[in-house]
Amino acid sequence: MDFIFLQLAGFGAAFVALVVDPLTYAYLIISVFLGITFGALPGLTATLAVTILTGFFGNKIPLDYSLIALLGAYVGAIYGGSYPSILLNIPGTAASAATAMDGHPLAKAGRGGEALGLTTTASFIGTLIGTVALLIFVWVLLLLSQNIASPEKALLALFGILLSGTLMSEDLVIKGWISGLIGLAMAMVGLDPLLSEPRYTFGWSYMLSGFQVVPVLMGAFAVPQIIDGLRHMNVGQMVALQGRILPNLAAVRRYMPTISRSGVIGTGVGALPGVGEDVAGWVSYGVGKTVSKEGDKFGKGSLEGLLSSETANNACIGGALIPLLVLGIPGSPPAAALMGAFKINNVIPGPTIDPEIILRVVAIMVLASFTMFVLGLFTAKFFIKILRIPQTVFLPIVMVLTAIGSFSVGGGINDLYLMLGVGFVAYFMNMMKYPIAPLVIGVILGGLFDETFRRSLFLSDGSLGLFVSRPGAAVLLALNIALIAAQIPMLKRGFARLRGKEV
């Protein structure tokens, strides 16, 4: 009980410290506003918003303000994606794809204002549910993770890469794994962490420091988005907004069970490494359709369907921060970008993280969700006007932002070359349906995997038995093997036969 009071007191102190600082509001309002704008413009995503701001703020402002800006943009962008989904039937972000299913029919039926008001409320409640889960579970997991040593860390890093590769693949699962392995291979460039042996530098001194996180993030997430956005023009017919954008409290009360369930689903999906808000939205939508008494109305303008996806994608944010803060494994692509920001500020997420930072993250999330709610309700008409700006006007500015951001954090032209190279590779990988998030997670976790794996072998004098003699390591090893085995066709057929299913 004392522990709970201690954490609540810590959270209260962090919250008050933020609330009394006027700069908090300046960063919050600007970043949430920018986030909603990025989310509202089809072609710009939450990951892009967080990545660009990471490059823009870098490590030159205090970490607290940097976190306010990045988390504010993250929360705002996931919510902002609902605007074009509802009014244009084009998801602003992948996370809002399910929202379009019911949001657009509602707008066409003259209920666009009501839909936007409910979406704002559901996103607000969803973010708070995810944040409360973050506050509770992060401590439970942190206490458990105190026993994590090098063997477990190595296997966890591998598990994070494999799981994100498995879950993020749109086409073949091995494409996700290949993407993760390419990321791991990129992390091997430079001086190795134990013996300082140069690897794959090809005599280029710049490569001795390895691939920097920010240029890789910019290249992997921003450059393909810019090229793709300029190549394909998303043109949609906007539905005129009818009705007042106010939260329909009667509907909120009526659908509270849906909102609560979707919040829990979103948080749970977010906690899976690398999965993200789009999967959360669809999973919650699917569950909602299955369990609802009015499931047949889903896709035809159902408020329940709208609330299912919108609550879950925002709840996913808090969930995605749990593995990031506890294990150092990002729960979603924007969380991977956030991890880049932590790294350039010399904060290592994982079991050794300063607990104060977690409390500040929770306090920022609460403030960001309130800011999003207020901005969403009172400035919605402005964001609707933004929707009329074509992406061919915005994307060139994003390109300039990307260039200056990547240069400023690394401080060198070489980082720009790296960004461009990674960008073109990521573009072709995207085109061939290789997921990009596992690559970024591989780059981020590669150093940790290499160092902890070899350190484990060093401690055991080369005996691999260490990975099975420690209970935690044995469980993680089994999970890794099960994850791979589950994709082998012969074993898949065997499991199906065991379950009595024909293949």
Partner 1 sequence: MNSPTEQEILRARDFWGAIVLFFLSVFFLWRTSFIPLFGQNRAGVSGADWYNSAALVPFGIFGALLVLSLVLMNISIKAGGARLALTRVGIGWNRSEALRFSTLALILFFYIVGLVPRVDFIIGSGLLITGLIYGYHGGRSDRMILVTLIVAIAGLYALAAHLPRSEWKAHDDDWVALVLWFGLTLWVLATNRQDRVARAIPIIAILAPTLLVLAMAFGFRQNVPNRSGLLFSQIEYHYFVNIKPLWSR
Q: Say whether residue 420 binds partner 1 (CB under 8 A).
A: yes
Separation of alpha carbons 379 and 307, rounded Å? 21
Q: Which of 27, 83, 453, 467 binds partner 1 (CB under 8 A)?
A: 453
Q: How far is the CB of 437 from partner 1 (least distance, A)?
A: 18
Angle of CA points 226, 227, 230, to nearest 5° = 85
Question: Which span sits near partner 1 by CB under 8 A: 94-102, 290-298, 349-357, 446-454?
Answer: 446-454
Residue with tokens 């401690």, as numbered in its chain? 459
Q: How far is the CB of 390 from partner 1 (least distance, A)?
A: 6
What DSSP element (H or E) covers 190? Answer: strand 190-191
Q: Which of 77, 395, 437, 439 binds partner 1 (CB under 8 A)?
A: 395
What DSSP element (H or E) covers 191? Answer: strand 190-191
Of the candidates 36, 47, 142, the residue with the CA atom closest to the CA atom of residue 430: 47
| Contact code string over 10-49 relative to partner 1, x by CB under 8 A | ----------------------------------------
| Contact code string over 143-182 relative to partner 1, x by CB under 8 A | ----------------------------xx-xx-xx--xx
Contact (Cβ atoms closer than 8 angstroms) between residue 285 and residue 305: yes
Q: Which of 11, 15, 206, 424 binds partner 1 (CB under 8 A)?
A: 424
Q: Say whether residue 408 binds partner 1 (CB under 8 A).
A: yes
Q: How far is the CB of 24 from partner 1 (least distance, A)?
A: 17
Q: Which of residues 226-255 bind partner 1 (CB under 8 A)?
A: 227, 230-231, 233
Q: How far is the CB of 185 from partner 1 (least distance, A)?
A: 5
Coil, strand, or helix at residue 411? coil
Q: Which of residues 197-216 bind partner 1 (CB under 8 A)?
A: 197, 199-200
Q: Say whether residue 444 binds partner 1 (CB under 8 A).
A: no
> Rounded to whole angstroms, what are the CA distances from 486 to 159, 162, 483, 492, 496?
14, 12, 5, 6, 11
Residues in the chain: 503
> Rounded to whole angstroms, what are the CA distances from 392 to 44, 96, 97, 235?
11, 21, 21, 11
Q: How far is the CB of 305 from partner 1 (least distance, A)?
A: 27
Separation of alpha carbons 386 and 418, rounded Å? 32
Separation of alpha carbons 73 and 372, rounded Å? 10
Q: How far is the CB of 153 from partner 1 (least distance, A)?
A: 14
Q: How far is the CB of 237 from partner 1 (least distance, A)?
A: 18
Question: Which DSSP letter does residue 500 get?
Answer: T
Question: Which span sits near partner 1 by CB under 8 A: 6-14, 113-121, 184-192, 243-251?
Answer: 184-192
> Rounded to whole angstroms, what are the CA distances from 31 to 37, 57, 65, 216, 440?
10, 11, 10, 23, 24
Q: How far is the CB of 471 from partner 1 (least distance, A)?
A: 22
Separation of alpha carbons 137 and 28, rounded Å? 25
What DSSP element (H or E) covers 199? Answer: strand 198-199
* Largest Cα–Cα separation, the chain: 71
Q: Say whether residue 397 binds partner 1 (CB under 8 A).
A: yes
Separation of alpha carbons 456 and 453, rounded Å? 5
| Contact code string over 346-385 relative to partner 1, x by CB under 8 A | ----------------------------------------
Q: Which of 27, 33, 38, 57 binds partner 1 (CB under 8 A)?
A: 57
Which lies closer to partner 1 via its Cβ, residue 44 or residue 181? 181
Separation of alpha carbons 257 and 279, rounded Å? 21
Number of residues that bind partner 1 (CB under 8 A): 60
Coil, strand, or helix at residue 384? helix
Q: How far is the CB of 110 from partner 1 (least distance, A)?
A: 29
Q: Say whether residue 457 binds partner 1 (CB under 8 A).
A: yes
In sequence order, the β-bridge partners of residue 198 are 191
Contact (Cβ atoms closer than 8 angstroms) between residue 345 and residue 63: yes
Which lies closer to partner 1 via its Cβ, residue 2 or residue 197? 197
> Rounded to whole angstroms, what are the CA distances from 107 to 298, 311, 405?
15, 19, 38
Q: Which of 18, 49, 167, 184 binds partner 1 (CB under 8 A)?
A: 184
Q: How far is the CB of 213 from partner 1 (least distance, A)?
A: 16
Q: How far is the CB of 345 from partner 1 (least distance, A)?
A: 14
What DSSP element (H or E) covers 235? Answer: none
Question: Which span sits near partner 1 by CB under 8 A: 138-146, 225-233, 363-371, 469-477?
Answer: 225-233
Q: Which of 401, 440, 473, 483 binds partner 1 (CB under 8 A)?
A: 401
Q: Which of 1, 20, 250, 393 binds partner 1 (CB under 8 A)?
A: 393
Q: Say whether residue 433 binds partner 1 (CB under 8 A).
A: yes
Separation of alpha carbons 317 and 337, rounded Å? 13
Q: Say whether residue 462 binds partner 1 (CB under 8 A).
A: yes
> Rounded to whole angstroms, what are the CA distances from 60 to 33, 271, 403?
22, 30, 17
Which lies closer to partner 1 via its Cβ, residue 321 or residue 443? 443
Site of interaction with partner 1 (CB under 8 A):
56-58, 60-61, 171-172, 174-175, 177-178, 181-182, 184-185, 188, 192, 194-195, 197, 199-200, 223, 227, 230-231, 233, 390, 392-393, 395-397, 399-401, 403-404, 407-409, 411, 413, 416-417, 419-420, 423-424, 431-433, 449-450, 453-454, 457-458, 461-462
